[in-house]
């Protein structure tokens, strides 16, 4: 046994030599040669030139040789399709072999050869093999159907293989069942709308029976398939859960995780009052803990999943803190994940232990891990109030170590602690200030500056400290610059007399010497505030800050629910929906948890409330960095302050002017100051005003323009509505509307960045929808979207996307991605954007069609409060592509006969009855697809009323 020699042939003329050996008469020599070929193939050499010679070796009774030749064929058949045909006969013959192992081998290999001509020949043997008497052949043939479907889906459907495959679910052999389930699940994934798997209580029962009997892998296929089933009621959900729970004791971790997935999903349907619900919760904990004694790679997968489970149902593992303690020899990826879960599980009951552990970790060697541990201590302080003091003292101990990155990390978290517990731990500020010089990371510098600004009144040399930062102002990162600006303004508002010079300096640095629009804007706002109304400035800048929440890095609830449906899979490892990393349509079907049962759940709204928080509480999640920008969000930038206009060039700032009477009002707290009666507007105050004015008017012009365009083309455009609130999308707010202009549909979007981070890399995707709406071009956001910036984008849409019936019909599910995350929302589009321009039907045709459509398809609606006469209505509707075919006057009523056509070719005929003087009119709709009527009516209503 020295096959390794095959790996070492690298001489010239090798191919030629191999050719000779392959054609040798001696069997042994032939075999040797094929082995050499396979070895060369493995290391990446191109041995396709030997194709005919290798194929010649195929007809042999030596099974080992045969398998090697097959292996070669699978690799090279595609590059030599004509030659590959030579092999077909042998395959077909082998499929008839008396030995089931050879029959299976032939059908298995044939499915791997992706050559059209071969595929044709595969159908007959495959059909036989699917009904073979031997289960080994049947289980191989089941997978082969999936292979064939991957090559030619249409062929599989035409040949009726899908039905045969469905029949195999009732096979007597468990492994055949399992492979059939696997194959069907895969095929179904590429046809989400087809009811291929057709799961019903009977078939579920069959699967559950097979579950007890098949191999570990088969159990995984079946459990993963079960997870897609939606039980019809809680009783069915419970009975499935009961039959799945024994799997939790399986030695194979993947079986356990797939069982957990089924249970977590179906639990949604069980009432929390049920005894069984509690039992199930208890049963879930031990197997999850056991997963942590698996090999490290599996531990990692398990921990990523536990992270999701803990967020969804914190009660399951709340007593299991200890098992997440980090071991010295754990690989770093396991350590980091454990730490994450420890923070999530920290509570008053276990905080002492957790803190002791975290302190231990902070002395380890891996920088990332140490940082995370330090940060975790801060999180504990915020989460468990009783521990805050201990956490702070632990952090101070760590600062004493003077290890650079530990100190910086500690300062960042102490800032959050200050925010959570104002006026409690300020005594440590002195210690923090000692470490000012060692801070070199922007986040830590910004945090320190924030602290100095916030507590300026307690730090004697606050001005000196801040001044020292000011020296290198332009070299700082934006984060630090913004923070420094705000801190100095705070300092000024607290100690106005000594810091005038400083504040002037920073304001001019920010507004004149910087080309960062955020910094300039913030500078101007402060400047104007200070100059017009210092008391208001104080109220704004020193306003009470909203409380920060206890939990951070929570996964957005809808995403979390989706990920729960993907437990055990890659999506749960990446914490991303499959669409984020899987190409094409496969596996991108949006999964969701079953709707929660109504009983005892009414108090909380499970869909929106972050699950990590106790019910009823709605914590606002801490923004990733900085927080002051939030204070400014409510400022109205609109009308420029009235003041004497001045030349923009003269930006010499007079300190006296700036302070003027404002200083007095600031010092004395009398309300009279607010009116600013004794306040002379400083000349410089006009600078921003001046700057602002032209921009402002320019903007409004723009707005005029857009609204003009909207009315011009006729088709009614609804005002923009907020589709995705910033709260749900980590600061990205999307509002929008749909328009139709001269035959093209577009989606007008307005993206607003309400986060503190620049957003880039925007992309958009639609789920399949009823009318195949799809973006016709990528989402073009040309520049990065900086905080508080808004862009307007018009996204052209096409109607050639894939179609799936939605409920309601005009529902559109949209995914928007940016550099931060992927967000989902759904919106309803008005149907009239789908009314095409050539929707006018010929009179005769109209009459015939009207008669032709059965009466039960007719729907009648009342449109109230619409005092229009027939002419006005007709022209209004025409501009939205509803065409009047004929008009009649019957008994004083105006009857309008109208037609319209949807993008997918559906005609809708309408009869609109208008009675002069009566504000309501009657609309009768006839259509071959009556489900659209309701939406057409809505379109009528919106068009007529606007």
Partner 1 sequence: MIGGLFIYNHKGEVLISRVYRDDIGRNAVDAFRVNVIHARQQVRSPVTNIARTSFFHVKRSNIWLAAVTKQNVNAAMVFEFLYKMCDVMAAYFGKISEENIKNNFVLIYELLDEILDFGYPQNSETGALKTFITQQGIKSQTKEEQSQITSQVTGQIGWRREGIKYRRNELFLDVLESVNLLMSPQGQVLSAHVSGRVVMKSYLSGMPECKFGMNDKIVIEKQGKGTADETSKRCLSGKQSIAIDDCTFHQCVRLSKFDSERSISFIPPDGEFELMRYRTTKDIILPFRVIPLVREVGRTKLEVKVVIKSNFKPSLLAQKIEVRIPTPLNTSGVQVICMKGKAKYKASENAIVWKIKRMAGMKESQISAEIELLPTNDKKKWARPPISMNFEVPFAPSGLKVRYLKVFEPKLNYSDHDVIKWVRYIGRSGIYETRC
Residue closer to partner 1 (CB basis): 40 or 810: 40
Which listed residue (394, 481, 483, 569) binds partner 1 by CB under 8 A? 569
Angstrom distance (rounded) from CA 608 to CA 143: 41
Residues 208-227 that bind partner 1 (CB under 8 A): 212-217, 220-221, 224
DSSP 3-state of 635? coil
Which listed residue (12, 28, 44, 891) binds partner 1 by CB under 8 A? 44
Half-sphere exposure for 745 (CA within 13 Å, toward CB): 25
- Using the rule CB under 8 A, give the single segment among 288-296, 390-398, 833-841, 928-936 that binds partner 1: 288-296
Residue closer to partner 1 (CB basis): 132 or 911: 132
Angstrom distance (rounded) from CA 318 to CA 334: 20
Count of residues of this chain found to bind partner 1 when the rule CB under 8 A is applied: 114
The CA-atom distances, in angstroms, between 130 and each of 54, 104, 125, 163 are: 29, 10, 9, 11
Give residue 737's region: left, alpha or beta (phi > 0; psi -120 to 50). beta
Name the residue with tokens 């981070």: 757
Name the residue with tokens 């022209």: 875
Minimum CB–partner distance for residue 212 and partner 1 (Å):
6
Residue closer to partner 1 (CB basis): 182 or 466: 182
Contact flag: residue 583 with partner 1 (CB under 8 A): yes
Contact flag: residue 243 with partner 1 (CB under 8 A): yes
845 Cβ contact list (under 8 Å, min separation 6): none
Contact flag: residue 125 with partner 1 (CB under 8 A): no
Name the residue with tokens 């001489």: 11
Which listed residue (28, 82, 98, 633) binds partner 1 by CB under 8 A? 98
Residue closer to partner 1 (CB basis): 352 or 430: 352
Residue closer to partner 1 (CB basis): 116 or 216: 216
Strands 763-766, 921-927: pairing is unpaired
Contact flag: residue 353 with partner 1 (CB under 8 A): yes
Residues 4-33 that bind partner 1 (CB under 8 A): 4, 6-7
**x/- track of binding to partner 1 for residues 100-119 (CB under 8 A):** xx---x--x--xx-x-----
Angstrom distance (rounded) from CA 245 to CA 284: 9
Report which of 694, 718, 696 is spatially closest to residue 707, judged by C-alpha positions.
718
Residues 877-906 that bind partner 1 (CB under 8 A): none
Residue closer to partner 1 (CB basis): 332 or 543: 332
Residues 169-188 that bind partner 1 (CB under 8 A): 173-176, 179, 182, 186
Minimum CB–partner distance for residue 340 and partner 1 (Å):
13
Which listed residue (18, 37, 69, 147) binds partner 1 by CB under 8 A? 147
Half-sphere exposure for 468 (CA within 13 Å, toward CB): 12
Residue closer to partner 1 (CB basis): 221 or 455: 221
Contact flag: residue 192 with partner 1 (CB under 8 A): no
Angstrom distance (rounded) from CA 96 to CA 375: 67
Got the DSSP string for 820-868?
Answer: S-EEEEEEE--GGGGB-TT-PPPHHHHHHHHHHS-GGGEEEEEE-S---
Residue closer to partner 1 (CB basis): 180 or 417: 180
Minimum CB–partner distance for residue 465 and partner 1 (Å):
24
Which listed residue (293, 608, 678, 790) binds partner 1 by CB under 8 A? 293
Minimum CB–partner distance for residue 464 and partner 1 (Å):
27
Residue closer to partner 1 (CB basis): 240 or 885: 240
Residue closer to partner 1 (CB basis): 39 or 686: 39
- Using the rule CB under 8 A, give the single segment among 153-161, 244-252, 375-383, 705-713 that binds partner 1: 244-252
Name the residue with tokens 């052209």: 796
- Using the rule CB under 8 A, give the single segment among 361-369, 410-418, 520-528, 680-688 that binds partner 1: 361-369
Name the residue with tokens 């459990």: 223
**265-287 burial, b if ≥16 CB within 10 A, otherwise e?**
bbbbbbeeeeeebeebbeebbeb
Angstrom distance (rounded) from CA 731 to CA 717: 26
Residue closer to partner 1 (CB basis): 101 or 709: 101
Which listed residue (200, 401, 600, 760) binds partner 1 by CB under 8 A? 401
- Using the rule CB under 8 A, give the single segment among 85-93, 329-337, 601-609, 776-784 that binds partner 1: 329-337
Contact flag: residue 155 with partner 1 (CB under 8 A): no
Residues 902-941 that bind partner 1 (CB under 8 A): none
Residue closer to partner 1 (CB basis): 390 or 832: 390
Minimum CB–partner distance for residue 402 and partner 1 (Å):
6
Residue closer to partner 1 (CB basis): 38 or 659: 38
Give the containing element (helix H, strand E) for 207.
Answer: helix 201-211
Q: Which two tokens stand for residue 629?
A: 């920008």
| DSSP category for residue 832 | G
Which listed residue (62, 461, 512, 790) binds partner 1 by CB under 8 A? 62
Angstrom distance (rounded) from CA 833 to CA 880: 8
- In DSSP terms, 390 is beta-bridged to none
Residues 668-707 that bind partner 1 (CB under 8 A): none
- Using the rule CB under 8 A, give the single segment among 355-363, 412-420, 831-839, 844-852 that binds partner 1: 355-363
Which listed residue (33, 165, 257, 374) binds partner 1 by CB under 8 A? 257
Angstrom distance (rounded) from CA 753 to CA 137: 58
Angstrom distance (rounded) from CA 928 to CA 944: 24
DSSP 3-state of 196? coil
Contact flag: residue 332 with partner 1 (CB under 8 A): yes
Angstrom distance (rounded) from CA 258 to CA 291: 12
Residues 591-610 that bind partner 1 (CB under 8 A): none
Minimum CB–partner distance for residue 253 and partner 1 (Å):
5
- Using the rule CB under 8 A, give the single segment among 167-175, 516-524, 759-767, 863-871 that binds partner 1: 167-175
Angstrom distance (rounded) from CA 244 to CA 316: 18
Say if CB 491 and CB 456 are below 8 A apart: yes
Angstrom distance (rounded) from CA 64 to CA 834: 62
Angstrom distance (rounded) from CA 255 to CA 266: 17
Angstrom distance (rounded) from CA 860 to CA 925: 6
Give residue 735's region: left, alpha or beta (phi > 0; psi -120 to 50). beta
Residue closer to partner 1 (CB basis): 587 or 676: 587
- Using the rule CB under 8 A, give the single segment among 56-64, 830-838, 840-848, 924-932 that binds partner 1: 56-64
Residue closer to partner 1 (CB basis): 120 or 360: 360
Contact flag: residue 582 with partner 1 (CB under 8 A): yes
Which listed residue (22, 57, 71, 466) binds partner 1 by CB under 8 A? 71
Residue closer to partner 1 (CB basis): 201 or 286: 286
Angstrom distance (rounded) from CA 397 to CA 374: 11
Name the residue with tokens 């036989």: 128
Angstrom distance (rounded) from CA 209 to CA 232: 20
Which listed residue (3, 457, 617, 792) binds partner 1 by CB under 8 A? 3
Give the containing element (helix H, strand E) for 794.
Answer: strand 790-798
Residues 520-549 that bind partner 1 (CB under 8 A): none
DSSP 3-state of 405? helix
Contact flag: residue 822 with partner 1 (CB under 8 A): no
- In DSSP terms, 400 is beta-bridged to none
- Using the rule CB under 8 A, give the single segment among 42-50, 274-282, 460-468, 783-791 that binds partner 1: 42-50
In terms of Cβ atoms closer than 10 Å to its own Cβ (0-12, 13-18, 19+), residue 930 is: middle
């Amino acid at each position: 046994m020295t096959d390794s020699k095959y790996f070492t042939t690298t001489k010239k003329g090798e191919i030629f030599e191999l050719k000779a050996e392959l054609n040798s008469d001696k069997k042994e020599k032939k075999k040797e040669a094929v082995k050499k070929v396979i070895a060369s193939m493995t290391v990446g050499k191109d041995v396709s030139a030997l194709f005919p010679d290798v194929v010649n070796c195929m007809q042999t009774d030596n099974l080992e040789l045969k398998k090697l030749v097959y292996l070669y064929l699978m690799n090279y058949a595609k590059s030599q399709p004509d030659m590959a045909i030579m092999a077909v006969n042998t395959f077909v013959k082998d499929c008839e072999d008396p030995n089931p192992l050879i029959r299976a081998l032939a059908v298995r290999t044939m499915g791997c050869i992706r050559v059209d001509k071969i595929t044709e020949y595969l159908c007959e043997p495959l059909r036989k093999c699917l009904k073979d008497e031997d289960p080994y052949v049947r289980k191989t043939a089941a997978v082969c159907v999936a292979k064939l479907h991957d090559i030619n889906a249409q062929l599989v459907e035409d040949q009726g293989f899908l039905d045969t495959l469905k029949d195999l679910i009732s096979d007597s052999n468990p492994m055949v069942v399992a492979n059939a389930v696997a194959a069907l699940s895969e095929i179904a994934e590429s046809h989400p709308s087809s009811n291929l798997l057709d799961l019903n209580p009977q078939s579920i029962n069959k699967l559950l029976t097979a579950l007890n009997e098949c191999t570990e892998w088969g159990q995984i296929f079946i459990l993963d398939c079960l997870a897609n089933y939606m039980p019809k009621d809680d009783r069915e959900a419970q009975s499935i859960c009961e039959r799945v729970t024994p799997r939790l004791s399986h030695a194979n971790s993947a079986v356990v995780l797939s069982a957990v997935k089924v249970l977590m999903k179906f639990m949604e349907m069980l009432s929390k009052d049920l005894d069984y619900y509690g039992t199930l919760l208890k049963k879930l904990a031990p197997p999850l803990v056991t997963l942590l004694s698996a090999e490290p790679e599996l531990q990692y997968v398990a921990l990523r999943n536990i992270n999701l489970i803990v967020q969804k149902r914190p009660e399951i593992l709340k007593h299991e803190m200890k098992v997440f303690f980090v071991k010295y020899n754990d690989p770093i990826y396991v350590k980091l994940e454990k730490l994450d879960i420890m923070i999530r599980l920290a509570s008053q009951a276990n905080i002492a232990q957790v803190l002791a552990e975290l302190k231990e970790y902070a002395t380890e060697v891996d920088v990332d891990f140490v940082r995370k541990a330090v940060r975790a201590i801060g999180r504990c302080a915020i989460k468990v109030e009783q521990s805050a003091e201990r956490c702070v003292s632990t952090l101070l101990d760590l600062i004493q170590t003077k290890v650079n990155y530990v100190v910086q990390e500690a300062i960042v978290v102490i800032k959050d602690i200050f925010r959570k517990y104002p006026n409690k731990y300020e005594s440590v500020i002195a210690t923090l200030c000692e470490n000012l010089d060692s801070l070199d990371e922007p986040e830590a510098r910004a945090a320190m500056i924030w602290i100095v600004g916030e507590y300026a009144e307690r730090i004697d040399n606050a001005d000196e400290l801040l001044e020292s930062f000011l020296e290198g102002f332009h070299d700082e990162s934006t984060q630090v610059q913004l923070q420094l600006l705000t801190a100095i303004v705070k300092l000024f508002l607290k100690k106005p007399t000594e810091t005038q010079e400083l504040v002037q300096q920073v304001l001019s640095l920010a507004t004149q010497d910087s080309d960062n629009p955020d910094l300039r804007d913030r500078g101007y706002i402060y400047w104007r505030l200070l100059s017009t109304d210092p008391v208001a400035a104080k109220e704004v800048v020193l306003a009470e800050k909203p409380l920060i929440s206890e939990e951070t890095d929570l996964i957005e609830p809808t995403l979390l629910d989706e990920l729960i449906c993907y437990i055990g899979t890659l999506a749960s490892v990446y914490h991303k929906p499959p669409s984020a990393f899987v190409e094409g349509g496969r596996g991108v079907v949006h999964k969701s948890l079953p709707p929660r049962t109504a009983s005892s759940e009414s108090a909380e709204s499970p869909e929106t409330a972050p699950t990590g928080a106790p019910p009823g509480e709605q914590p606002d999640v801490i923004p990733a960095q900085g927080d002051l920008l939030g204070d400014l969000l409510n400022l109205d930038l609109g009308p420029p302050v009235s003041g004497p206009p001045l030349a923009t060039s003269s930006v010499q700032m007079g300190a006296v002017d700036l302070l003027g009477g404002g200083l007095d009002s600031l010092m004395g707290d009398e309300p009279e100051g607010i009116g600013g009666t004794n306040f002379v507007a400083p000349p410089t105050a006009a600078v921003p005003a001046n700057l602002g004015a032209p921009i402002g008017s320019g903007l409004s012009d723009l707005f005029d323009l857009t609204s003009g365009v909207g009315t011009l083309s006729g088709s009614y455009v609804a005002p923009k509505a907020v589709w995705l609130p910033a709260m749900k999308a980590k600061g990205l707010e999307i509002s929008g509307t749909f328009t139709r202009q001269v035959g093209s549909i577009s989606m007008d979007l307005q993206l607003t960045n309400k986060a503190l981070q620049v957003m880039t890399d925007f992309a958009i995707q639609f789920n399949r929808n009823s009318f195949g709406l799809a973006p016709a071009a990528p989402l073009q956001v040309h520049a990065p979207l900086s905080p508080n910036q808004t862009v307007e984008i018009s996204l052209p849409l096409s109607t050639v996307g894939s179609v799936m019936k939605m409920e309601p019909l005009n529902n559109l599910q949209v995914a928007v991605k940016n550099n931060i995350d992927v967000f989902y929302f759904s919106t309803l589009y008005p149907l009239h954007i789908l009314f095409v321009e050539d929707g006018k039907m010929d009179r005769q045709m109209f009459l015939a069609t009207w008669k032709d459509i059965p009466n039960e398809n007719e729907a009648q609606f009342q449109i109230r409060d619409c005092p229009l006469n027939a002419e006005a209505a007709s022209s209004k509707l025409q501009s939205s592509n509803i065409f009047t075919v004929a008009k009649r006057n019957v008994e004083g009523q105006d009857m309008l006969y109208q037609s319209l056509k949807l993008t997918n070719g559906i005609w809708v005929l309408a009869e609109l009855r208008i009675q002069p003087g009566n504000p309501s009119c009657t609309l009768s709709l006839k259509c071959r697809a009556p489900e659209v009527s309701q939406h057409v009516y809505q379109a009528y209503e919106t068009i007529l009323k606007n």
